[in-house]
């Protein structure tokens, strides 16, 4: 009897160990994904740099990989992306923060239960739908108000990208504001502060790191946004500060290359990976920063 129990126990342990390894492998796939992404981008980009110098790529102001004379300066694509980032931030950051302040400081439970799901639905709408909204509603609207708006323009894309990241900003800022202990608010109210003063001078400063992380993640999302930008902002690598002109972002260029019949292995094909490397590096650094800040602020109040 005693040996029997021992035997079945050791049998069980075998199964347990195998399952444990299986679960571990599943968790490891995520690390593997990162390693493969970085590997592919590194290999293809370094072979791109054997034909184009790094300084030409990083500081060149002309991007003409398909037409003669060819030029491989990424600044126009980077500038296009930055135009989208700035425009969408102007929409998403103040409105998103204001939504969060309303939700966490003012809204009744009933209002919260209506607005939160609406924001969730907004967040779940596919980006291609926002692209359609840009070309069918925002661009005609802009052309109605301003005179010299091109059919494809940065402003229209930036506005919808801002609307797109707004729910994320609102939800993350809401979390950050609500993690501020009630006692801080009560302390401020008890010395006679108004609701505005409590929010602006106590709650928001206390939640600042979380709000900062939300903003960084929003900008990172805007940088990586693809479909709305491809549909609405155009395909003209154009180093400009005028949001009413047609531009091209890094992501839109990647889509353009993959839509065309670019022969794989050629230099034009490798530009895809070089641009993707820049995109990946920027977003990775921003995400690392945001996640680090968020972990830090979670430690403060938990």
Partner 1 sequence: MKTSPSSNGESLGHRSASLRRRHLIAALFKALCIGFTLFAVSVLGLLIAQVGADGLPWLDTQFLNNFPSRFPEKAGIKSALYGTLWVVSLTALIALPMGVLAAIYLEDYAPASRLTRVIEINIANLAGVPSIVYGILGLAIFVRFFGLERSVLAGAMTMSLLILPVIIISSKEAIRAVPSSIRLAAYAVGATQWQVVRSHVLPAAIPGILTGVILALSRAIGETAPLIMIGALTYVAFTPEGPMDEFTALPIQIFNWASRPQAEFHELAAAGIIVLLVVLLTMNALAVFIRYKGTQK
Q: How far is CA 129 from CA 8, 138, 232, in A?
A: 58, 13, 11
Q: How far is CA 225 from CA 87, 110, 130, 236, 283, in A?
A: 13, 33, 11, 17, 11
115 binds partner 1 (CB under 8 A): yes
Q: Which residues, 48 to 107, sit near partner 1 by CB under 8 A?
A: 94-96, 98-99, 101-103, 105-107
Q: What is the token pair recorded at 35?
A: 């390693």
Q: Which residues contact 250 (CB under 8 A, 6 or more apart)?
A: 74, 77, 78, 80, 81, 223, 275, 276, 278, 279
Q: How far apart are CA 231 and CA 14, in angstroms?
A: 55
221 binds partner 1 (CB under 8 A): yes
Residue 72: strand pairing partners: 63
Residue number, 68 or 191, with CB nearest to partner 1: 191
Residue 180-209 contact track with partner 1, rule CB under 8 A, x = bound: -------xx--x--xxxx-xxxx--x----
Residue in 165, 272, 278, 293 binding partner 1, rule: CB under 8 A: 272
- Measured from the CB of residue 213, what is the shortest distance to partner 1 in angstroms? 11
Number of other residues whose CB lies within 10 A of the CB of residue 257: 19
Identify the residue whose tokens are 């690392």: 288
Q: Which residues, 124 to 153, sit near partner 1 by CB under 8 A?
A: 124-129, 131-133, 135-137
7 binds partner 1 (CB under 8 A): no
Residue in 180, 213, 219, 254 binding partner 1, rule: CB under 8 A: 254
For 63, the 3-state DSSP assignment is strand
Q: How far apart are CA 88 and CA 174, in angstroms?
A: 19
- Measured from the CB of residue 242, what is the shortest distance to partner 1 in angstroms? 23
- Measured from the CB of residue 248, what is the shortest distance to partner 1 in angstroms? 14
Residue 154-183 contact track with partner 1, rule CB under 8 A, x = bound: ---------x--xx--x-------------
- Measured from the CB of residue 128, what is the shortest distance to partner 1 in angstroms? 5
- Measured from the CB of residue 195, what is the shortest distance to partner 1 in angstroms? 5
Q: What is the token pair recorded at 190?
A: 């008890």
For 72, the 3-state DSSP assignment is strand
Residue in 6, 7, 40, 241 binding partner 1, rule: CB under 8 A: 40
- Measured from the CB of residue 281, what is the shortest distance to partner 1 in angstroms? 11
Q: Which residues, 11 to 30, sit near partner 1 by CB under 8 A?
A: 12-13, 15-16, 19-20, 22-24, 26-30
- Measured from the CB of residue 102, what is the shortest distance to partner 1 in angstroms? 4
What letter would DSSP give residue 264? T
Do residues 139 and 156 touch, judged by C-beta distance below 8 A? Answer: yes
- The counts of H helices and E strands in the chain are 14, 2
- Measured from the CB of residue 69, what is the shortest distance to partner 1 in angstroms? 27
Buried b (16+ CB within 10 A) or exposed e, 167-176: bbbbbbbbbb
Residue number, 181 or 187, with CB nearest to partner 1: 187
224 binds partner 1 (CB under 8 A): yes
Residue number, 69 or 265, with CB nearest to partner 1: 265
- Which of the stretches 10-18, 56-64, 66-74, 171-179 binds partner 1 when contact is defined by CB under 8 A? 10-18
């Amino acid at each position: 009897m005693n040996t029997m129990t021992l035997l079945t126990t050791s049998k069980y342990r075998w199964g347990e160990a195998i399952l444990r390894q299986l679960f571990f492998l599943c968790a490891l796939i995520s690390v593997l994904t990162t390693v493969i992404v970085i590997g592919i981008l590194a290999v293809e980009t370094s072979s791109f740099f054997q034909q184009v110098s790094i300084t030409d790529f990083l500081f060149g102001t002309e991007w003409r990989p398909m037409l003669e004379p060819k030029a491989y300066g990424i600044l126009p694509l980077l500038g296009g992306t930055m135009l989208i980032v700035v425009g969408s931030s102007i929409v998403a950051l103040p409105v998103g923060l204001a939504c969060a302040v309303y939700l966490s400081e003012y809204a009744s439970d009933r209002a919260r239960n209506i607005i939160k799901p609406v924001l969730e639905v907004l967040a779940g709408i596919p980006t291609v739908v926002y692209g359609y909204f840009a070309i069918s509603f925002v661009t005609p609207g802009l052309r109605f108000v301003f005179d010299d708006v091109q059919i494809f323009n940065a402003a229209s894309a930036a506005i919808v990208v801002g609307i797109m990241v707004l729910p994320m900003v609102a939800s993350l800022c809401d979390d950050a504001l609500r993690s501020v202990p009630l006692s801080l608010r009560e302390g401020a109210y008890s010395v006679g502060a108004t609701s505005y003063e409590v929010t602006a001078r106590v709650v928001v400063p206390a939640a600042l790191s979380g709000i900062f992380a939300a903003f960084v993640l929003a900008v990172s999302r805007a940088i990586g946004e693809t479909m709305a930008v491809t549909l609405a902002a155009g395909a003209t690598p154009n180093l400009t500060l005028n949001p009413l002109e047609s531009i091209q972002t890094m992501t839109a260029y990647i889509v353009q290359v993959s839509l065309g019949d670019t022969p794989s292995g050629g230099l034009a094909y490798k530009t895809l990976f070089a641009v993707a490397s820049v995109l990946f590096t920027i977003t990775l650094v921003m995400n690392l920063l945001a996640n680090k800040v968020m972990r830090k602020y979670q430690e403060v109040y938990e």
